[in-house]
Amino acid sequence: MGKILRRTFLVGTGVIAGGLAVGFYTGFRPHENPLEAGLADGESTFNPFVRIDAGGKIHVIVPRAEMGQGVTTTLAALVAEELGVGLSAVEVEHGPAAGAYYNSVMLEESGPYPVFAKTLLAETTRALSGATGRLLGLQVTGGSSSVRDAFEKMRHAGAVARYLLLQAASEEMGEAVPDLLIEGTEVVSASGERVSLGVIGPKAALIKPPSDLALKDPSEWTLLGKPQQRTDLLAKVTGAPIFGIDTDLPNMVYGTVRMSPRLGAGIRSFDMAAAEAMPGVIKIVRMDTQTGTGFGVIAENTWAAFQAARAIDVEWEDAPYPDDTNAIMEVFRGRLDSGAAGSSYRDDGDVEAAFADAPADLVLTADYEVPYLAHAAMEPMNATAWLRDGKLDIWAPNQAPTVIQTVCAGIAGIDAQDVAVNTTYLGGGFGRRGEVDFSIYATLMAMNSDGRPVKVTWTREEDTSHDTYRPAAAGRFRARVDADGAVEALDMRIATPSIIKSVGRRTFPSLPTGGPERLLTEGAFDQPYTIPNYRVTGVETEMPVPVGFWRSVGYSFNGYFHESFLDEIAEKTGQDPIEMRIRLMSAHPEAVMVMKKLAQISGWARRLPDGRAKGVAFTLSFGSYVGEVVQVAQTPSGIRVEKVWAVADVGRALDPGIVKSQIESGIVFGLSSALGQEITISDGRVEQQNFYDYDAMRIHQCPEFEVVILENAETIGGVGEIGTPPSIPALANAIYALTGERIRTMPLGNHIAFT
Amino acid sequence: MKLVVNGETLDLDVDPEMPLLWALRDVAGVKGPKFGCGVAACGACTVVIDGMAVRSCSLPVGDVDGDVRTIDGLVRDGRMHPVQKAWMDEQVPQCGYCQAGQIMSAVALLEEIPHPSDAEIDDAMQGNLCRCGTYPRIRSAIKKAAAAMPVTLDAET
Ligand code: FES
Ligand code: FES
């Protein structure tokens, strides 16, 4: 056990090491309430999630990044529910960067176990990893973890606030607590007397809360479990300046960056005289950083900065990786050919023996490949920084404020507590905004702007060609079936780079990262299927193209690998793909119920007219069980994705409206990649530049949706990413059913024409 | 140079070659139109000029002829435009970044075609990318707004 525990600790090493520097300052002691320091006169706070202003308004701090997934609604509802007020009664804020806002759930599932593994070892690993997040004060939005992480803490924060406010009001008003009610900005008594929360708040803050406050039973919930109106709607339909790119500060200057297009390569020679002489240009800064080398242009306006950046004459050094996509993929293929050992997080039965005596006609083999992908969030990367009097302020749409705080303090040579990170609304994140590059560049430019704030906006071209990409991967799979169709053995080898190491190298370059990693094979090793001889091996592949977290991470490609190959097995053995899956997942009733429901709502058994076909796939990810059926049709202008049915067991849907839109959103994201997205490299540079060559699904391509949410699973699952993994194989399998062509490399659009 | 934005005449000191988007955002302080691509490929910067949906990132400010309507001027006398109301009712936005552009494209569409068919919606809206995939709700909100909108809308203000 000792040996394995050591290994599992290493699994999350990247993340743990990534947080270490943060933890050095903020960990190893209880996290303080960061709201206390900023309280104005007459304001009060009882915990890091609730602040009452002098006018009695309740402010709820939602310390996770709102990037469209609805956290500012659902997390605020957790607090409001226990406070006993409506959502419209509270003001929602992102709050400061602080260790108190640690995310422990995100790390919990970083070990080598499927989510359903409940062994002592698996549970111990979860507890240890979760505690690490807390210890290090890691404030991160990711891993579809926000609701799971907040579910207890934020309801508790609401319950404490309610207890204290009513207790203080009871003393103030001379009425018994059961006769009191919080209404808007006041406490109201049964006799109709009112007192402002602004008056009560400071008194309430002096009372010591009991340690054993009971939370409401779900049957008493009035907000949770029901669709709410999103708290960010009004701002978003009126075009309010809420995004990072809208930041406006007194005396502000504007900027952009031009970084080496050969990622990780330096500058051979340059001449910026012409650029410097252009109208509106204030200064051009050379930047040599842990995330890239290039130039920052400071100007009177963004457009002038864009023009000047283009005008810098520069020759870049060679890329640290092979020059073009094919040479890069050859490295992945070579890893599969090499017989490298890799790490097998699933290794049931005796796979080698099962294949050793297998007759050739009962063995199925296939090679699959997926490309690098960009995030292409709608809001291009940007950050605003202001350095004055030894203090640095950063405004950025970001997913990891405490990491930015630590890293940018290092860049500016000041203490982390002198760096304030203001999290704006995010125009999409999808994992890209957990990175530090945009904040590093803004910080460096702020160090060169004479004390003026500088807003640094990347061009779309810079954003697309300097992403931290979803890694490419190559897979080699084989299956052995027996004469009556049973799956005897399944063996999957997947070659792909380590995301954790790539992130670690550019975020905390001085800290080591190591150990095997679940991201290589998540989506393949951790699925609820029982096969007597079943092995999934991740073969880590060294490749210095920067890679990062892309909505659903490893699930985004392993889901395709696993579920498309299962479809091949069903085809070979003449089984119905849903029935076969149900047989293989019989040990997991939640999964079976998902597939049965899916068969029912999609009319799976019904025959379709010629020119139409359906495909199915299932992926368990982030604790949620998700099955999807995609229907495609042959039309005169190409293949059209007509409809998608999805069934998701998320354990508990705290806001069914938001859950449904997140699932649809995840599906559009996955289908977009399958239709035509691909990042390719030529001459060491990313070829794609903008939406004209890296597009996503448009309204006329968007299918109809039917989504059913189930709540059978024991624990709450994530929702932000779970729609994506099964959508890709379900589409590929539908294309096979329609055309008879089995497409084993993404994107599908390279092989067939879509509308 | 003079620029009329949401009925107000502004006097801007800008290079006429500067795209309207940046003149609005960086010089005039009108932040509703967003920057997404800069090459008329995403629609985030959409404004309405003379009833037409225009990608402000690709139009030099010196070439603007007419009143520029942006999302910032859509609320009148404290009342939301029917398109905005429909967007609220259908809870369209997720991250919200594309929505200023989506709403302005929808406004231009409904002023031209009060009751658009699905094909007409596809035509008018496919230049507006939404990475969050809010398309099903955009479509239903347009239909809802169409049903709610008076045929005579004060299009020229
Ligand atoms: S920013 Fe103008 S269309 Fe994309
Ligand atoms: S709502 Fe996020 S891009 Fe459309």
B92: containing domain? 82-148
Are A705 and B75 inside 8 Å of each other by CB? Answer: no
Q: Are residues A581 and A622 in the same domain?
A: yes
In chain B, what residues touch A669 (CB-CB under 8 Å)? 131, 133
Q: Are residues A389 and A500 in the same domain?
A: no
- Written as six digits, the tokens of A130 are 């979760």
Ligand 2 centroid to A244 CA: how many Å?
A: 15
Shortest CA gap B120–chain A (Å)? 10
Q: Are A24 and A410 in contact (CB under 8 A)?
A: no
B48 within domain boundaries: yes
Nearest CA in chain B to A672: B131
Residue to mutate (ligand 1; options B34, B48, B55, B99; most atoms within 8 A of CB)? B55
Are B131 and A430 inside 8 Å of each other by CB? Answer: yes
Q: Are residues A714 and A647 in the same domain?
A: yes
Q: Which of A146, A172, A116, A37 is nearest to A721 (CA)?
A: A146
In chain B, what residues touch A460 (CB-CB under 8 Å)? 36-39, 42
Whether B152 has a pLDDT exceeding 80, the answer reads no
| Confidence (pLDDT) at B106 | 98
Chain mean position to CA A37:
31
Q: In what order do the strands lie in the sheet with A382-388?
A: A281-288, A293-299, A253-259, A454-457, A382-388, A391-396, A419-423
Are B36 and A69 inside 8 Å of each other by CB? Answer: no
Write the CATH number for B98.
Answer: 1.10.150.120
Write the CATH number for B54.
Answer: 3.10.20.30
Distances (CA, A) of A256 to A351, A443, A460: 54, 12, 11
Q: Is B126 helix (H, G, I), strand (E, B) or coil?
A: coil
Q: Are residues A298 and A340 in the same domain?
A: no
CB-nearest partner of A236 from B80, B99, B123: B99
A595 within domain boundaries: yes
Q: What is the 3-state secondary structure (H, E, C) of A512-580?
A: CCCCCCHHHCCCCCCCCCCCCEEEEEEEECCCCCCECCCCCCCHHHHHHHHHHHHHHHHHHHCCCHHHH
Query: Which residue has tokens 């294949």?
Result: A355
Q: How many domains does chain A have?
A: 3
Q: Are residues B28 and B69 in the same domain?
A: yes
Are A668 and B135 inside 8 Å of each other by CB? Answer: yes
Q: Are residues B57 and B93 in the same domain?
A: no
Q: Are residues A284 and A369 in the same domain?
A: no
| Confidence (pLDDT) at B54 | 98
| Confidence (pLDDT) at B4 | 97
Q: How many domains does chain B have?
A: 2
In chain A, what residues touch B130 (CB-CB under 8 Å)? 378, 699
B101 within domain boundaries: yes
The 10s digit of each residue's pLDDT in B104-114 is 999 999 999 99
- Pick among B26, B46, B80, B134 to test the A interface (most A CBs inside 10 A): B26
Shortest CA gap B152–chain A (Å)? 22
DSSP state of B25: I
The 10s digit of each residue's pLDDT in B47-85 is 999 999 999 999 999 999 999 999 999 999 999 999 999
Backbone angles phi, psi at A311, to 5 degrees: -85, -5
A615 within domain boundaries: yes
Ligand 2 centroid to A81 CA: how many Å?
A: 28
A53-71 burial code (b ≥16 CB/10 A, e <16): bbebbbbbbbbbbbbbbbb
Distances (CA, A) of A15 to A495, A601, A740, B63, B129: 21, 41, 43, 52, 34
| Confidence (pLDDT) at B149 | 81
Angle ∠(A265,A266,A267) on CA atoms, nearest 5: 135
pTM of the model: 0.94
B154 within domain boundaries: no
Question: For chain A, how many residues are written?
Answer: 755
Domain boundary pick from A427, A457, A487: A457
- Given a cut of 70, the residues of chain A with pLDDT beneath it are 1-30, 514-515
- Among the bound ligands, the one closest to the CA of A697: 2
Pocket of ligand 1 (CB under 6 A): B 35-38, 40-45, 55, 57
Which position has the higher pLDDT, B149 or A155?
Answer: A155
DSSP state of A90: E
Q: Are residues B92 and B134 in the same domain?
A: yes
A310: containing domain? 244-319+381-457
| Confidence (pLDDT) at A30 | 67
- Taking the CA of residue B40 as reference, the ligand 1 atom at the shortest distance is 3
Q: Are residues B12 and B69 in the same domain?
A: yes
Are A699 and B25 inside 8 Å of each other by CB? Answer: no
DSSP A217-248: PGGG-SSTTS----TTHHHHHTT-S-BGGG--
Domain boundary pick from A411, A435, A457: A457
Nearest CA in chain A to B86: A237
ipTM field: 0.96
Are A702 and B133 inside 8 Å of each other by CB? Answer: yes
Q: Are residues A278 and A155 in the same domain?
A: no
- Written as six digits, the tokens of A555 are 């699930």
> What is the rounded (10 degree) CA torsion for A603, A608, A611, A613?
40
Q: Are residues A351 and A388 in the same domain?
A: no
Write the CATH number for A350.
Answer: 3.30.365.10
Domain boundary pick from B14, B38, B73: B73
Q: Are residues A48 and A162 in the same domain?
A: yes
DSSP state of A417: G
